[in-house]
Structure 1
Amino acid sequence: MSRVSSMAILALLATLGIGLTWLVQHSSAPRIAAEQRLIDSRNLLDLLPPDSYDNQPLEQPLTLESTALANSTLLAGYRATKSGQAYAVLLRSQTLGYASTIDLLIAIDLNGRLIGVKTLKQAETPGLGARIADWPNDWLRMFAGKSRTDPLDQGWALKKDQGQFDQIAGATITSRAVINATHDALRYFDEHRQPLLGNPSHE
């Protein structure tokens, strides 16, 4: 077999290999994307009781206005509904912790009370502030049932700052950042309640 023939066969095999690789990747892309959406959905929606909503909140993100808040920034918002009636609003918030930014998911019911808070992303000190990422998280659970007025504004602080909340041991800055961001989200909800909850007749 001549050198030219060998080169031609190698080129053909390489082309076939590239083509097959592309075909496999292209055909599996929708399945991979669907699996990623399912993972994202579980990660973002596990703050809500499974039977509390029947829509797909992540597929209909809310339009948020004035998202730069006092101590945090809102990155996204979603509405969970059941039979066309709003059940909860999920606000994705970012705040500055001790080592880096912290991304939180804050779920608020239609009465303005916290359903729960979850850490989505953080780079805090391992063994200290990084415990904010544990799930389930006993420290974050203390926010459940709280609202903008329960406690009042001055109560939304660490006990060492004359507020009502304990801190994560050894993580004062992280704890303070999460409390402030959660309070921000509750204020935002209260001030933008109507557009966040929507008009049931248009659900």
Structure 2
Amino acid sequence: MATIKSSFQNMVLTLFAVTLISATVLGFVHSLTKDAIEASKLKAQNEAIKSILPEFDSLGESWKAAPTEGGDSLTFFPAYDASKNLVGVAVKTYSKNGFSGLIELMVGFKPDGEISGYQVLEHKETPGLGSKAQAWFSNETKPKQNIIGKNPETTDMHVSKDGGQVDAITASTITSRAFLEAVRRAYDTYKNNLPAAEEEPAVSSEPESEGGES
């Protein structure tokens, strides 16, 4: 019986040692890659802001605001010309109702609410179907797909199947609904916070990290 007891103790000790080593290695790898991952996300965010807004000279301080319906806060990046006039605001928005969950967008608005551009920042939609969102809703040859240049105040940003004015991605209605939900959330929150953007002084020539937590 002593031999059995000894073997059991050895197994427990070995298992503990393997678990401890694995946890240490995982923690070390995470610490090595964390900064690189954050830097990559920040770079993508900055490139998105530049690509979706009208030409600007500087950015003001970003800020956050909660949607009127509740939920996670959205982040705003106001952009100004050389005379400190607001030329547009990039809004980091989201929907949690995609086919595979979270869809995160950056949507640009001109001061009058017209959509100047958008970028899909993150999604887990089906490759070849839901992943078409980036190109689908900016197709200049298909006016009922293209949301660029349209104002959510005068264009119903729901899919045609739901009575709206935007054609859904073929075979990806759920993704399309989520995408347009994120756009509407961005616009509604933007509209309610536009005075803050108009009063914000421009302080930076480059997009910066949004900082803080919602």
Partner of 1:143: 147
Q: What corresponds to 1:12 in structure 2? A: none
Aligned residues: 158
Shift of 1:69: 4.8
Larger CA deviation: 69-78 vs 138-147: 69-78
The within-5 A match list for 1:80-159 is 80-83=79-82, 84-96=84-96, 97-133=98-134, 137-141=135-139, 142-151=146-155, 155-159=156-160
User: Aligned partner of 1:116: which letter?
Assistant: G
TM-score (norm 2): 0.64
User: Retained in 1: the 8 A contact 2:53–2:89?
Assistant: no
CA 1:138–1:99 in 2, change beyond 3 Å: closer, same or farther?
closer
Aligned equivalent of 1:62 = 62
- Where do 1:2-17 residues align within 5 Å? none
Aligned-residue Cα RMSD (Å) equals 2.6
Report the CA distance between 1:118 and its aligned residue.
1.4
The one-character-per-residue Cα deviations of 1:143-176 (angstroms, maximum 9, x if unpaired) are 112223212xxx2211111111100011111100
Provide the secondary structure at the position in 2 that maps to 1:168: coil
Distance in 1 (CA, whole Å) between partners of 2:112 and 2:160 is: 26
Kept after mapping to 2: 8 A contact 1:72/1:95: no
1:77 is the counterpart of 2:80: no
Quick one: percent identity of the two aligned structures? 22
SS at match of 1:160: helix
CA distance in 2, matches of 1:126, 1:69: 32
Bigger fraction of residues in helix? 1
Q: 1:48 to 1:64 in 2, by over 3 A?
A: same
The TM-score with structure 1 as length reference comes to 0.68
Task: Assess if the C-alpha contact under 8 Å between 1:89 and 1:197 holds in 2.
Answer: no
- SS at the partner of 2:174? helix
C-alpha deviations, 1:51-80, integer Å up to 9, x for none?
Answer: x2111x3xx542223x24549744421011
1:69–1:132 distance in 2 versus 1, CA, 3 Å: farther
The 3 A distance-change label for structure 1 pair 150 and 36 is closer
Matched, 1:42 2:47: yes
State the alpha-carbon separation in 1 of the partners of residues 186 and 103 from structure 2. 14
Deviation at 1:186, TM superposition (A): 1.3
